[in-house]
Amino acid sequence: MDDQSKLIMDLRSKLSSFQTRVKELEAENAKLTSIVSTCTCRHESELFKALQKTRLVLGDRKDLQYSRCGRTDKGVSSVGQVVALLLRSKQKEPGGDTSEGLVDEGPDDEELDYVKILNGVLPDDIRVIGWCPAPVNFSARFSCLSREYIYFFWRENLNILVMESSCKRLIGEHDFRNFCKMDAANVHNYKRCITSFDICPCNGSDQLMLMKIKGSAFLWHQVRCMVAVLFLVGQGLESPDVIDVLLDVDKTPRKPQYKMAPEVPLVLQYCEFEGLNFKCSSDARRALQLHLEKECRAYKLQSAIFQEALLSLSSTEDDGSLASNKTKKKVSSHVPLMSRPTEPSYDERRAKLTFSVAARHESVVAKQDTRCL
């Protein structure tokens, strides 16, 4: 066999291996797309059940051009989430057909009462509070100008003054890779801009506090990570300077391992858009108000029951004879953040991903060469 024939065979072998790899990648992409399309939070799933039950939508999400403003982790609440999609409408397009898509803004009585219809079938802990017609190219995610989160917490023994001064260090544009859960496969820019960060009492309470964080966009778990570090500062376990150290990704390319703040007190409060005016019929608004008041009373009743249980403890006496002689549980000492084990840096994660892809490719080539032999 001459050199030209060997070259042709070699090129055919490589072409075949590339074709095989392309098919594998297409199959993986289809699998991931399927997973993403079915992997939704409960609230999102319930919303689509309600939309389908009321026949406000037809087809799947791709046909509906569905988008959502913010992603909330399991256990995180939202009172300002915004989603966009094509809905059945009483309005007519220029051609004269009833549109299942964009509706022109007009009097409320000329359109379906979306709020009333959906709230009639949604679970008690999920409610629609308003709707608004939107431009054709509107995206709830990419058209959002800013998002605002609030995080509730108890004052307890925290140094609020130190926390207030420390949170201001997070304002502005920074690389927040040390304040998030890194997704090196899909996210390559970790710079985000925080426009305001405040700590204040909740509704005048001297014990219940809240953090209010506003920014153009946020990374995965970013708010909970920032809150966790601020708690360490407020407890006197870390210096406020640790925030500057973590924001300096040149000096600190690897994130120290630390626990995020709990998810339950976190609320997506508000999503800002230009030119959108949400509306709600008077009937739907009244029904929504009555529902929320009922839910508040139910939770207050539960709180009263637990309060009564606490008070009942005062009627019992400690029995010293039954005191346990067992050794008390040892309280673990605090390990400074910068002395803790670290997670892989972004570059290390990318190198590992690249190596994995190259290893799979070499495996395919080796299999193809074996077939040629």
Distance, in Å, from the CA atom of 216 to the CA atom of 176, rounded to the nearest integer, reads 13
Task: Please identify which of the residues 63, 73, 175, 283 carries the catalytic annotation.
Answer: 73
The secondary structure of 41-109, three-state, reads CHHHHHHHHHHHHCCCCCCCHHHHCCEECCCCCCCCEECCCCEECCCCCCCECCCCCECCCCCCCCCHH
Q: Is 248 a catalytic residue?
A: no
Question: 81: which residues sit within 8 A by CB, 6+ positions away?
Answer: 43, 68, 69, 70, 72, 268, 271
The CA-based angle 47-84-133, given to 5 degrees, is 115
Distance, in Å, from the CA atom of 228 to the CA atom of 257, rounded to the nearest integer, reads 12
Write out the two tokens for 171. Answer: 């304002």
Question: 210: which residues sit within 8 A by CB, 6+ positions away?
Answer: 150, 151, 152, 153, 199, 200, 201, 202
Positions marked active-site: 73
